[in-house]
Amino acid sequence: MFAHQLYKKATAGLKHTLNFVKSRRVARLTLFCSLCLSGPVMADLQIPIAYIKQVSDESVVSLSVFQLPQNNGVAGAKLGIEDSNTTGRFLKHHFDLTVIEHAQPADLVAATLSWLKGNQGVLVLDVSDDVLQLLLSSPETSSMLMINATNQSDKWRQTQCRARLLHTAPSYAMLGDALGQFLLAKRWRKWFLVLGQSASDKAMAAAFERASKRFGTKIVERKTWTFDTDLRRSAQQEVPGFTQGDDYDVVLVADTDNQFGFYLPYNTWLPRPVVGTQGLTAVAWHPAIEQWGAVQLQNRFYDAYGRAMTADDYNGWLAVRAIAEGVTRTGESDPNRVYDYLTGDKFELAAFKGRKLTFRKWNGQLRQPIPLAHAHGLVSQSPQQGFLHPVTDLDTLGYDKPEVTCRMVKE
Amino acid sequence: MKKRLLALSLLISNGVLADTAYVTNEKDDTISVINTETLKVTDTIDVGMRPRGIIFSQDFRYLYICASNSDAVQVMDVNTHQIIHNLPSGEDPEQFALHPNNRHLYIANEDDAVVTVVDTEKRDVIAQIDVGVEPEGMAASPDGKWVINTSETTNMLHWIDASTQTLVDNTLVDQRPRHVEFTDDGKSLWASSEIGGTVSVIDVATRQISHTIRFKIPGVHRDKIQPVGVKLTADGKYAFVALGPANHVAVVDANTFEVLDYLLVGRRVWQLAFADNQTRLLTTNGVSGDVSVIDVDKLKVIKTLKVGRYPWGVAVKP
């Protein structure tokens, strides 16, 4: 018998004691101190946050395994609210989440603007480029703090950044660089690029091509996936021909909506790894991350929602945690003051990625390490060792200050 | 009794008698026992799942072990190395502190945002106290008035009045506070912030931060300097701070708060404990799976010895 089995036997008798402990918790003997904090006197604060979610009105899921949970993203923001209120009860800060969901851009924008009329709050955005454009062009949002939690388009970080628009979601360029650095570290320099036809596929592919140029790797082939037949029963016959080539180290796939990338692993002409949006992926978060205390966050999320935490959930959690950190440290609920703190020198956020996260002042992007994972395991985390930067190696991921043409100056 | 006297006289005549260090191996579910004179592992003991925090009763008869994944605090008879019983601990106990009354254990329940107070004699839970998200570090003041808990995601030190078991105050510190340690005179409290990269020194009378200590090691990125374990010498001279993935222990002048030196130890240095009448300091190095031994007078690392996988906590019996 193994030691842990012996141990399980020994602890069986402990169960009733633990149950007793749990029942005791219902009637806690003690009161927590909700009024006190050493330091400045804190006043009651209410912080309204709206989670703006653009839901899809059509089902484009190719396989049911890719079905996203209905509360994708929202659940992460809700956990962020719960965590922040646990902290807030010691300071008399209360965070409140309203979820606004619509499929049509016009409806979503109208509902958002109507919420803003009644609330001096912060918006957490889970929307497409179109909706983000509409929101940014509404005069009502010009003085509001908005945190983009899911949109990965580089233009919001490079050419169209704006004061009070922050991003917890990493951009395509950050993901591309994170993967590119890893491939270079492995000396896998010859890339066979396969991309889909959607706008986001092209944006992802452009990020891979940008990484290739930055790191001096070679894209030996660039092919657009054009199959319009269902390959579920014929991928083994079709994919080898499609990926035929003299030599490549990896097949790099840009299929952001999971339409075909899953056909590629194990079916390529040469026995090479598949990386990109399938196979080995660069992601903001992954259920297999357990380092850096992350297992606590994963468990907390699983206990609350009965499923694994997705990247969108994580970015929603981060957005709320950043807002709460701003309120906790300043003792103010004014979104402008919170924004000043978040983009100031004092802000830092612990977020289970092994180091502190901060915002890039020049484009509002949250600096963060990017995990590299396959379906059930964490492989690495970028920046890779040896990628140096005069300010912080985290700025080797994505558009760096000199490449950014927009300005964050307040109007 | 005669034997004891003999041992005592030997101790006096030799000047030094080896201590015994107990190191929890988080990934092996074991404790490594180290003779601090020969610096060899003399025994490896099977314990509950994911052992982390570890502490002796004042008479060194019992060793309390946080078996995190077994949701229990185990009590080991130090003479026989047998687990004699488990204490109810609440879920996922990680660190704890023994009150100077030698009876009340204050246990941080990481997953539940509570601190559980257990009477070790009656083996009964006497209170549970709501604290911030992910409670971690625990310390009791030498006079027994205060018990401090740190919460990693709330970023606070929670002040628990030990006479009423109530939370009466909170001190906001830098990101991810991990460990707290009182000075021997009980006048100040040292708290490490892992992600903030700082150690805060708090004046106990006002419960305000009086100093913030920062660290800088040439060639190591500042984000990788992550303070965790803290130990203070009884003579008030030094503070030692384990810097996690920076693989160094900082030596701090406990009076001026100036960092005097950085000592290279094993990888991901986590917790610290003194041995041999504070002439030696042991460090648990999680990633390299070993324990480094520091000569406190010379401020030099004199040896590194292999223990189990992911050594976490360390406690020393004279």
Q: Which helix (H) or strand (E) holds A206?
A: helix A199-215
Instruction: Answer for the pair B139, A4: CB distance below 8 angstroms, yes or no.
Output: no
Q: What interhelical angle do A199-215 and A172-185 show, nearest 10? A: 40
Q: At what angle do helices A294-305 and A74-88 cross, to 10 degrees?
A: 110
Cβ–Cβ contact B86 with A under 8 A: yes
Beta-strand relationship, B72-77 and B62-67: antiparallel
The reported pLDDT for the residue numbered A16 is: 40
In chain B, pLDDT over 90 holds for what percent of residues?
88
Enumerate the residues of chain B whose CB falls inside 8 A of the CB of residue A38.
169-171, 206-208
Contacts of A296 in chain B (CB under 8 A): 110-111, 134, 152
In this structure, what token pair is assigned to residue A5? 């089995």
pLDDT for the residue numbered A409:
75
The tokens describing B47, both together, are 């314990």
Q: Which residues of chain B are within 8 Å of residue A79 when distances are taken between CB atoms? A: none
Asked if residue A278 lies in contact with residue A264, where contact means CB atoms within 8 angstroms, the answer is yes
Nearest neighbour of A21 by CB, restricted to B29, B90, B133? B90
* Alpha helices per DSSP H over chain B: 2-14
Other beta carbons less than 10 A from residue A197's beta carbon: 11
- Amino acid residing at B8: L
User: Which of residues A317 and B11 earns the better pLDDT score?
Assistant: A317
- Superfamily (CATH) of domain A174-281: Response regulator (3.40.50.2300)
Question: So what's the pLDDT on residue A24?
Answer: 40
B315 within 8 A of B63, measured Cβ to Cβ: yes
DSSP H helix total and E strand total for chain B: 1, 28
Are A293 and B224 a contacting pair at CB < 8 A?
A: no
Give the Cα separation of A302 and A306 in Å (integer). Answer: 5
Q: Which chain B residues in 230-259 lie under 8 Å from chain A, judged by CB atoms?
A: 245
- Cβ of A355 and B223 within 8 Å? yes
In this predicted model, what pLDDT tens digit does every residue of A49-83 receive, in sequence order?
999 999 987 666 788 888 899 999 999 999 999 99
Q: Which residue of B has its CA nearest to A392?
A: B221
Residue range B7-15: average pLDDT?
A: 45
Distance from CA of A111 to the nearest CA of B (A): 33
Query: Does the structure show a pLDDT above 60 at B7?
Result: no
Domains A45-170+285-368 and A174-281 share a fold: yes
Domain A45-170+285-368 in this protein, CATH class:
alpha beta
Residue B216 DSSP label: -
Cα–Cα distance, B112 to A172 (Å, whole number) = 36
Where does residue B53 fall: left (phi above 0), alpha (psi -120 to 50 degrees), or beta otherwise? beta
Cβ atoms within 10 A of the Cβ of B124, count?
Answer: 15
- Where in chain A are the domains? 45-170+285-368, 174-281
Query: Is residue A395 within 8 angstroms of chain B, CB to CB?
Result: no
> Which residues in chain A land under pLDDT 70?
1-43, 58-60, 410-411
Q: Phi and psi dihedrals of A306, rounded to 5?
A: 65, 20
* Count of pairs with CB atoms under 8 A, one residue in A, one in B: 143
Chain B positions touching A291 (Cβ under 8 A) are none
CA distance A159 to chain B (A): 29
Looking at residue A258, what is its pLDDT?
A: 93
Q: C-alpha angle with apex B190: A42 to B18, nearest 5 degrees?
A: 155
ipTM of this complex: 0.80
Q: Supply A342's token pair.
A: 């978040």
Contact B86 A11 (CB under 8 A): yes
**Quick one: average pLDDT of B213-223?**
92
In this structure, the number of other CB atoms found within 10 A of the CB of residue B115 comes to: 28
Phi and psi for A266 in degrees, rounded to 5?
75, -5
